Amino acid sequence: MKKRLFSGIQPTGEVHIGNYLGAIKNWVSLLDPYDCIFSIVDYHAITVPQDPKSMPKQILHVATVNIAAGLDPQRCTLFVQSQVCEHTELAWIFHTITPMGHLERMTQFKDKAKQHRENVNAGLFSYPILQAADIMLYKAEAVPVGEDQVQHIELSREIARKFNARYGNIFPEPQELLSTAPRIMGLDAKNKMSKSLNNYISLIESPEDIWKKLSVAVTDENRKRRSDPGDPDKCNIYHLHKHFSSPEEIDWSAHGCRTAGIGCLDCKRCLWKNIVKELTPIREKAMALFENQNYVIEVLQKGAERCQEMARQTMQEVKEAIGLQLTPQPVKTKV
Ligand code: TYM
């Protein structure tokens, strides 16, 4: 029996190379060793305002790009979170054992509360509880994520421990699996690459658009002129080379930067060529799938059916453990 793995991605905006290097590429490498379940987490997405009209499109878009990036539906289960109602049911139960103080410590909540001051809702606050329910509903042991999610997985472990201690051993304690690129910085070189900050390269962007973004991306800010030597360790372009370029090109970039042998644009051109090489097959596959969205809908439906069955079984176990299952009583006959 393979161990089970769960991970999720929000259907908000474009899938970018931070998602790809931090999570999706790792997911693809784990398809065979694990029983993999991936979810488009639309209930998480609505903790910040979304346009209801574009949500269905967004969900399909993110599912399509993930399939194009390598989530082969023959080798994993892909589904939309809201199609399995037990996610919110289990989340409610977990609400009753999660201390408020633990949620208050979550850095992502603090950041998002700052970003969305006008809408600091309860869902945003208890977001990590729903995440714990996502994982635990399938008793997943491995959770491949980027670094920004590690605190949420730690909380999931605490919730599993608390539940097991109170009601009996039902849930394994999930472990995060980090990729070799757990935190990709944005093209501004200041913030993590993120959909909301518009500092990203999308997985399906055209080569021309990628160059437009890359050519103005921030490098080592101390290197003011072409003749100044730079420090590659302080340059986000150099760090991106490590994920897209050959060892020789990575050395060429570092040495050329330190000696001012190459300019930042030379370095970017080489990175651009390698990014385009890696993303072109993904883009082409996505374009073909955009022409065949019924296939993607079918994949998601099949995925939901499998997950509904597993989720139903877990909830039955959970309800029995908590004492929420009424068992039929023998009929009393009048004498
Ligand atoms: P989301 O949609 O923000 O991101 C999806 C995945 O991409 C990773 N990631 C990054 N990795 C490296 N560098 C970056 N700049 C970068 N940006 C994003 C994220 O760490 C994530 O792995 N809460 C989750 C979704 C979720 C989930 C779950 C994950 C809901 N339930 C259960 C695992 C298990 C989120 O918002 O991911």
For residue 227, give the CATH number of its domain: 1.10.240.10
CA distance 21 to 275: 12
In a domain, 278, yes or no: yes
CA distance 196 to 83: 25
For the whole model, what pTM was predicted? 0.96
Q: Are residues 179 and 297 in the same domain?
A: yes
Neighbours of 21 (CB within 10 A): 22
Asked if residue 234 has pLDDT above 80, the reply is yes
Q: Are residues 214 and 243 in the same domain?
A: yes
In a domain, 334, yes or no: no
pLDDT per position as a tens digit, 207-219 = 999 999 999 999 9
Q: How many contiguous H segments (helices) and E segments (strands) does the chain have?
A: 14, 5
Q: Are residues 179 and 220 in the same domain?
A: no
Q: For ligand 1, is residue 109 a contact (CB within 6 Å)? A: no
What's residue 333's pLDDT? 85
In a domain, 304, yes or no: yes
Q: Are residues 56 and 82 in the same domain?
A: yes
Task: Map residue 241 onto helix, strand or coil.
Answer: helix
Q: Are residues 17 and 146 in the same domain?
A: yes
In a domain, 335, yes or no: no
Bridging pattern class, strands 142-144 and 77-80: unpaired
What's the distance, CA 3 to chain centroid? Answer: 20
Q: Are residues 305 and 180 in the same domain?
A: yes
What's residue 73's pLDDT? 98
In a domain, 327, yes or no: no
Nearest CA to ligand 1 atom 31: 131
**Mean pLDDT computed over 183-204:** 96
**319 is a catalytic site residue:** no
CA distance 295 to 303: 12
Q: Where are the alpha helices (DSSP H) in 105-261?
A: 107-115, 122-137, 150-167, 207-215, 236-244, 247-258
Q: Are residues 248 and 122 in the same domain?
A: no
Q: Are residues 227 and 107 in the same domain?
A: no
Catalytic-labelled residue, pool 3, 53, 112, 332? 112
Nearest CA to ligand 1 atom 27: 8
**224 is a catalytic site residue:** no
Domain count, the chain: 2
In a domain, 190, yes or no: no
In a domain, 332, yes or no: no
Q: Are residues 110 and 174 in the same domain?
A: yes
Of all residues in the chain, what percent carry a pLDDT higher than 70?
100
Q: The CATH number of the domain where 310 resides is what? A: 3.40.50.620
CA distance 82 to 103: 23
What's residue 180's pLDDT? 95
* Per-residue tokens: 91: 């989340």
Q: Are residues 211 and 177 in the same domain?
A: no
pLDDT per position as a tens digit, 58-96 = 999 999 999 999 999 999 999 999 999 999 999 999 999
In a domain, 189, yes or no: no
Q: If you average pLDDT over every residue of the chain, what do you get? A: 97
Q: In what order do the strands lie in the sheet with 77-80?
A: 77-80, 34-40, 3-9, 142-144, 175-177
Q: Are residues 134 and 86 in the same domain?
A: yes
Task: Map residue 176 onto helix, strand or coil.
Answer: strand
Q: Are residues 79 and 160 in the same domain?
A: yes
Nearest CA to ligand 1 atom 16: 18
Residue 274 domain boundaries: 207-287
Q: For ligand 1, is residue 144 a contact (CB within 6 Å)? A: no
**273 is a catalytic site residue:** no
